[in-house]
Amino acid sequence: MKTMFQYNWLVREEWYRWCEDIPVEELLRVRTGGVGGILHTLFHIADVEWSWIRALQGKPDFQESFDGYRSLEKVRQLDASFRQEVVEFVQSWDESMETLPLYDMQNDGKFTGHSWGEIMRHVIAHEIHHIGQLSVWSRELGKKPVSANLIGKGLIKPKL
Amino acid sequence: MKTMFQYNWLVREEWYRWCEDIPVEELLRVRTGGVGGILHTLFHIADVEWSWIRALQGKPDFQESFDGYRSLEKVRQLDASFRQEVVEFVQSWDESMETLPLYDMQNDGKFTGHSWGEIMRHVIAHEIHHIGQLSVWSRELGKKPVSANLIGKGLIKPKL
């Protein structure tokens, strides 16, 4: 669990650095699939991660749209402003939290319960999925995408 | 760990079903990004998952190319032929395996060690990343992609 979050943060940081070499009009260009753009995707990843972590803590989530964050610097700053709370929550994770319920109102007005463990894994998969979309758009731009490799980052050291 | 593999298998099965409604020439068409095509991606996901699980068991891995598997039925059959061994390995997973080493020869001929825990998470992230690419190509085809949601699949039941 913690390893996957660390992996996502490392890869996300690499994508922010990748963005530094791309003209802002390309970062903002509307593209096919996902939420429809490179910078919008990074905004969406940070937004969704923080919003779920906030929901698990019973706190209000992030409600703003991408319209106010249409530059690399603004998205990075927003992400950084969320990060400490997310890191603390992830670091505090233990097995006893896996099946705690979060109640969620569905479109039909009925309540459904999700386990916290499922939500945390949903957040992990959500980011990796959207990063996969960035990799296609990167190739469309003629640029090599950030590696998605999880091995080789020293996340879990082997006992040699 | 086990939850993420189950999620991947469920989503992969949904993508196989999604493929049933797509002409084979679209499934085989060379596309930008990833391994360059829809069916090739599904082949690659099954190949990589099984190959790593084989490597962890010290068994020979899968060496064939996509050339021999250029139909939905053939990829599904190949995947099915791998699945039981993968499921058994994932089901047998326990904490004591996390830091076991797997030695891997690098391009420079030096050996490096990866932990088993890192490799298993690499396999998980590898699939989700490639499925993200399918979602873009799906929209390019004018088709709704399979949902990447992990919540709502009953993978970890909440204690209500």
Q: What is the pLDDT of residue B157?
A: 95
Q: Are A133 and B131 in contact (CB under 8 A)?
A: no
What pLDDT shows up at residue A62? Answer: 87
CB A75 within 8 A of CB A39: yes
Report how far residue A159's alpha carbon sits from residue A1's, in angstroms, rounded to the nearest whole number. Answer: 20
Give the mean model confidence (pLDDT) for residues A48-72. Answer: 95
B13, B50 contact by CB (below 8 A): no
Q: Does A109 have pLDDT greater than 90?
A: no
Q: What is the pLDDT of residue A111?
A: 78
Among residues B120, B134, B23, B58, which one has the least CA distance to residue A7?
B120
Distance (Å, rounded) from C-alpha B160 to C-alpha B74? 43
**Could A122 and B157 be called an inter-chain contact, meaning their C-beta atoms sit closer than 8 Å?**
no
pLDDT for position A110: 79
Rounded to two decimals, what is the model's pTM? 0.97
CB-based burial label for B151 (10 Å; 0-12, 13-18, 19+): buried
Please report which confidence band the pLDDT of residue A76 belongs to, taking 50, 70 and 90 as the band edges.
Answer: very high
Give the pLDDT of residue B112: 82
Residues B5-35 have pLDDT tens digits of 999 999 999 999 999 999 999 999 999 999 9
What pLDDT does B65 receive?
A: 96
Chain A: give the shortest CA distance to residue B36, in Å.
10
Contact B150 A126 (CB under 8 A): yes
**Do A32 and B136 count as a contact with CB atoms less than 8 A apart?**
yes
- Listed in order, strand segments (DSSP E) in chain B are 101-105, 111-115
Of A98, A122, A151, the CB nearest to B122: A151
State yes or no: pLDDT of B109 exceeds 90.
Answer: no
Query: Could you tell me what percent of chain A has a pLDDT over 70?
Result: 100
Domain boundaries, chain B: 2-140
- Kindly provide the ipTM of the predicted complex, given to two decimals: 0.96
For the stretch B44-94, pLDDT in tens is 999 999 999 999 999 998 889 999 999 999 999 999 999 999 999 999 999
Q: Which of B14, B42, B150 to mutate to test the interface with A (most CBs of A within 10 A)?
A: B150
Give the position of tokens 């699945």. B83
- CATH code that applies to domain B2-140: 1.20.120.450
- Residues of chain A above pLDDT 90, percent: 90
Reported confidence tier of residue A14, pLDDT bands at 50, 70, 90:
very high
pLDDT digits over A20-37, tens only? 999 999 999 999 999 999
The token duo for B78 is 């190949």
